[in-house]
Chain A
Amino acid sequence: MTQSDGATGPLAGPAAAPRRIRIRAGRHAGLIGGCILLGLLALLIFGASFITPYDPLEQRIAERLQPPGLEHPLGTDRFGRDVLARTLHGGQYTLIASAAALGGALGIGLLIGLGAGMMHGTWIDALLMRIIDVLMSFPFMVLALVVAALLGTSLLHLLLAVVAVWWVAFARLARSVALQARQETSYAAARVLGASRIALLVKELLPRALGPVLILATFELGSLILSIAALSFLGLGAQPPAPEWGSMLADGRAHMLQAPHILAGPALFIVLTVLAFNLIGEGLRDRLDPYEQPGWQ
């Protein structure tokens, strides 16, 4: 993620009105800030074992519902588990699960989108577009509920539901890129030279689609994490005693009166993580959006 930092210089562009420069600096601040925030969070989350000595699953009933202190910086939950350890280790769950779901959606979306674009004008393309239209009328929450009802509640099934919904966005983008690429001479040349369909897909279309699709992915990652956490909060995702942020919050809800502090850790981390991805996604989009917002002239 941090490699985008280096590229900020050239985009400062020629001198413009003072106000515009300020807005641009602000935009970069978002992108850089998002990268730094994400780096810090990743350091905390994946270095969890070095930061806190506690096991996220170990129960010490004698130390249950303790307020934050030196021993337990974020207190303990109703089974006497250290909330900091659970929050940090829980981050690994969230980040890895989201990355896996995103990877799945990305792969399927790219394959189907590029394939459909390549076969534009045939019944395959028409059928795929129809399926995409239908899937778009399935609200995500509803589909996730149906999957959970049919397959049972687990993190894996939740991720399946996420992939089933999220590939559509990538497929549509990939298809539009493929439709554009088909018009280009290099594509025609490759076809004339006898490139197979797979070669066309991998060598001609994929490189073109990868950039825009990855940017969309960064942008979607924030809302993907939000969805996974929300469904886990409802009990449809990671099952106890797994330390997942959403299910930790659902668990802590019962003790909101006596020990509201056990909600603070997971709530803060979830907001900061999504914020980091949103800042990066928005920063990237602003930088690559060719349309400058005109505003007052």
Chain B
Amino acid sequence: MLKTTLLRLLEALATLLCATLLLFLLIRIAPGDPVQILLGRPGEAGVTDTAMQERQAAELRERLGLEDPVAVQYGRWMERLLRLDLGESIHTGRSVGAELAERLPATAALALAALAIQLALGLGLGIASALRAGGMSDQLIRIVCVVLASTPAFVLGLGLLLVFAVRLGMYEISSAATLARLWLPAATLGLIGAPQLIRVVRANLLSEFGQVYIVAARARGLGRGRLALHALRNSLASIVTVAALSLAALISGAVVIESLFAWPGVGKYALDSIMLKDYPVIQGYALVMIALMIGLHLAVELVYALLDPRIRRQGRRIRHDAV
């Protein structure tokens, strides 16, 4: 187990390292001179003396180390990253790490609340439709799932806003991150993610129901509810995987919902920074999200090993398609 864990940890670190390299190169090869962007920032624009501006640009290039070879620049950037220094925002001049840390709790609260809703719906409706496979309620759940899976999050969010904020006046439209404002965006995200989980729970339970041990248990006279619990225990691994991956999708995909509901999380911050062309923020945001994603994948593999003794012993590699 320890060996497997260490191996996975190393692999995750290697992937993270490659991701930083890719991100660094992506930003380096992009058109647009960072010095121009820095000098053109609000408050310093309006420089008319071109010779003066060129001298400033050269100085800045020197100070930022942009004249050095790319490998040296990458090394310096990595060194700062290891000290958890993500640089400063061009717009506010504050540390990107601090700005992101301020907004992460709002995003985490939204994602966790959405995950809770998603799990409740996924387990409840998934078990219900597996128990009555082929019946009316199963068909109904299936139809609702297909329609819901075809609905963009922002369309559902707009619809819910229309009903609860405009018609019923039950939801306050503001930009505060309070509990009273959490339920509607969380419900939107939870509903959008639920169909996938319902489907996985249903499919897993159905394939367990076909196993010999369930037939034996039925022959001994166990009720369907008890059988579902037994089957659920055996399909836990894949349910945990889907839940963890959808948590990753919730955190990174929350951009749309945060923007729609004016929820002050990291996604909305990153989006606003794009409009301001605040590169360090985008870079920092992307890095944090990728690290989070890799961390969640790692956690899934370790939990998998804990849940399934066969993997613990063989260290078999689990592959799952990411979102």
Decide if the interface of chain A is mainly helix, strand, loop or mixed.
helix
Q: Is A169 an interface residue (CB 8 A)?
A: yes
**Chain B proximity mask over A145-160: 1 for CB below 8 Å, otherwise 0:** 1101111010000000
Query: Which listed residue (B158, B166, B275, B321) contacts A249, Cβ 8 A?
Result: B158
Segment 123-173 of A: residues with Cβ below 8 Å from B: 130-131, 133-143, 145-146, 148-151, 153, 169, 172
Q: Which residue in chain B gives the minimum CB-CB distance to A276?
A: B150
A22 to B134: give the CA distance in the assembly, Å.
8
Check B139 against A137 for contact (C-beta < 8 Å): no
Q: Which residue in chain B gives the minimum CB-CB distance to A273?
A: B150
Q: How far is the CB of A98 from chain B (nearest CB, A)?
A: 13
* Chain B interface residue bracket vs A: 35 or more
Assuming A139-B289, A279-B146, is B19 touching A226 (CB within 8 A)? Answer: no
Q: Which residue in chain B gives the minimum CB-CB distance to A278?
A: B150
> Interface stretch among B64-72, B93-101, B175-183, B250-258?
B250-258
Check A295 against B139 for contact (C-beta < 8 Å): no
Report chain B residues within 8 Å CB of A234.
Answer: 255-256, 259, 271
**Chain B proximity mask over A62-74: 1 for CB below 8 Å, otherwise 0:** 0000000000000
Check B256 against A226 for contact (C-beta < 8 Å): no
Report chain B residues within 8 Å CB of A288.
Answer: none
- Beyond A151-B31, A233-B152, A294-B210, 14 additional contacts (C-beta under 8 Å) are A19-B134, A23-B134, A134-B15, A137-B290, A138-B293, A139-B248, A139-B323, A140-B323, A141-B253, A145-B271, A172-B321, A234-B256, A274-B152, A282-B146
Q: Is A263 an interface residue (CB 8 A)?
A: yes
Chain B residues engaging chain A, CB cutoff 8 angstroms: 15-16, 18-19, 22-23, 26-27, 30-32, 133-134, 139, 146-147, 149-155, 158-159, 161-162, 166, 203, 206-207, 209-210, 215, 248-249, 252-253, 255-256, 259-260, 267, 270-271, 273-275, 277, 279, 282-283, 285-286, 289-290, 293-294, 297, 321-323
Assuming A134-B22, A226-B152, A275-B147, is B253 touching A139 (CB within 8 A)? Answer: yes
Check B271 against A134 for contact (C-beta < 8 Å): no
Q: List 30 A-B contacts (CB under 8 A).
A: A134-B19, A134-B22, A136-B322, A137-B15, A137-B297, A138-B293, A139-B323, A141-B256, A142-B252, A142-B289, A146-B26, A149-B273, A149-B277, A150-B27, A150-B32, A226-B150, A229-B154, A233-B154, A234-B271, A249-B154, A253-B158, A263-B158, A267-B155, A271-B152, A271-B155, A274-B151, A282-B146, A294-B206, A294-B207, A297-B210
Q: Which residue in chain B gives the minimum CB-CB distance to A133?
A: B15
Please name the 10 residue pairs, one residue from A and one from B, whose CB atoms are nearest each other, closest first: A294-B210, A139-B252, A150-B30, A275-B150, A274-B150, A134-B18, A149-B282, A142-B289, A149-B274, A136-B322
Report chain B residues within 8 Å CB of A236.
Answer: 274
Q: Is A3 an interface residue (CB 8 A)?
A: no
**Chain B proximity mask over A277-297: 1 for CB below 8 Å, otherwise 0:** 011001000000000011111
Q: How far is the CB of B144 from chain A (nearest CB, A)?
A: 12
